[in-house]
Amino acid sequence: MSLRYKTVGITARSDIVDTDGVVADIASIVQSTGARVLLDGSRCKKNPKKTHIFSCHKELDLLIVVGGDGTILRAVREMGVSECMNVPILSVNTGTMGFLAELSLQESAAMIPVLLSGKGTIEQRSMLHVTARRKQKMLWSGFVLNEAVISQGAISRLIDLKTTVDGDPLATFHADGVILSTPTGSTAYSLAAGGPIVHPQLQATILTPINPHSFSQKPIVLPKNDVIEITIVTKPNKFRDIQISLTLDGQQYVTLQRDDIVRAEATNETVKFLRRKEETFFSTLRSKLKWGERPEAADRD
């Protein structure tokens, strides 16, 4: 078989049922094509025969991610921006939703050889560059594929978030928080909070307030080049233990306080996904979110 991807890495969610067995099955399928298999040694504990460990993602032509959307987000974070732009991801879903996933376990044996031969297509998803700073101190700087969330925690009190776009005042949100999302993340937490579905090939940033106090504060889709800055302006009060945090792709957390500034802008950096065909977004909406389906008629007996 003529191969487009000759060195294939495999990483997996470590707590799925029979992780070792699933990884061994995927490795066997890849090896049957003549490709070389390298494993993520920190998560694939029991190595199948004829496999080795990869030390960095630069060794790979393709990374197969076995798990759900959270596993994909973790893999993207660990790869880093430079490798995400060079090494495509092929995802095999073992989670509940698997919105970003391309294959089910049942499809793997038939589809992996086809995709490794080069018959698939590469889809690029944009990322958001996010920083958080406290005066001159940088608290966090990096990229997210889904979203950055500023929210309050332990005490059920609204917080105040002064927001500007390219230096122009937008609003001071009096809310549970704000979600800054990529188009990819528009179908995740942002959608649950009332944000719009945005096609992943659009270049934009979606700002979605979480439970705003004002009915006039609605989600807004902003152009790629807009720079969003959010300043924590919640005043100290007797509830000293109120917690405000910045959450990055649901996996990294930064504690914020008054006058801290979160800055976000869309970038040219992308994550590459190996897909079986050009357009899968609408079919994914229909199959996994049941989007556009008409509710069954009520029983009129």
Q: Which of 40, 69, 176, 260 is catalytic?
A: 69
* Residue 288 within any structural domain of the chain: no
b/e code 96-112 from CB counts within 10 Å (16+ = b) = eebbbbbbeeeebeebb
* Residue 220 within any structural domain of the chain: yes
Statement to judge: residues 154 and 107 lie in one domain:
no
User: How many whole angstroms separate alpha carbon 166 and alpha carbon 293?
Assistant: 39
* Residue 211 within any structural domain of the chain: yes
User: Whose structure tokens read 């759900």?
Assistant: 68
Q: Is 69 a catalytic residue?
A: yes
pLDDT band at 298 (very low <50, low <70, confident <90, very high): very low
Residues 6 or more apart whose Cβ sits within 8 Å of residue 64: 8, 9, 10, 11, 26, 30, 89, 90, 91, 92, 112
Statement to judge: residues 139 and 205 lie in one domain:
yes
Which of 96, 119, 142 corresponds to the end of one domain?
Answer: 119
Which of 119, 135, 157 corresponds to the end of one domain?
Answer: 119
Taking residues 276-284, report their average pLDDT.
79
Statement to judge: residues 134 and 239 lie in one domain:
yes
Statement to judge: residues 26 and 112 lie in one domain:
yes
What CATH number did the domain enclosing 76 receive? 3.40.50.10330
Statement to judge: residues 261 and 152 lie in one domain:
yes
pLDDT band at 154 (very low <50, low <70, confident <90, very high): low
Report pTM. 0.90
pLDDT band at 299 (very low <50, low <70, confident <90, very high): very low
Q: By residue range, what is the domain housing residue 223?
A: 127-268
Q: Kindly state the helix (H) or strand (E) to which residue 169 belongs, with its residue range.
A: strand 168-175
* Residue 275 within any structural domain of the chain: no
Q: For residue 301, is pLDDT > 60?
A: no
Statement to judge: residues 138 and 201 lie in one domain:
yes
- Could you give the number of structural domains in the chain? 2
Statement to judge: residues 104 and 143 lie in one domain:
no
Statement to judge: residues 100 and 20 lie in one domain:
yes
Statement to judge: residues 203 and 114 lie in one domain:
no
* Residue 150 within any structural domain of the chain: yes
Statement to judge: residues 13 and 111 lie in one domain:
yes
What CATH number did the domain enclosing 237 receive? 2.60.200.30
* Residue 155 within any structural domain of the chain: yes
Q: Kindly state the helix (H) or strand (E) to which residue 31 belongs, with its residue range.
A: helix 19-32
Statement to judge: residues 131 and 253 lie in one domain:
yes
Give how far Cα 112 sits from Cα of 5, 17, 79, 120, 212, Å: 11, 21, 22, 10, 45
**pLDDT for 201-260, tens place per residue?**
999 999 999 999 988 899 999 998 999 999 999 876 655 567 899 999 999 999 999 999
User: How many whole angstroms separate alpha carbon 124 and alpha carbon 270?
Assistant: 6
Statement to judge: residues 163 and 40 lie in one domain:
no
* Residue 276 within any structural domain of the chain: no
pLDDT band at 264 (very low <50, low <70, confident <90, very high): very high
Which of 65, 93, 119 corresponds to the end of one domain?
Answer: 119
**∠ CA(138), CA(141), CA(142), 5° rounding?**
175
* Residue 278 within any structural domain of the chain: no
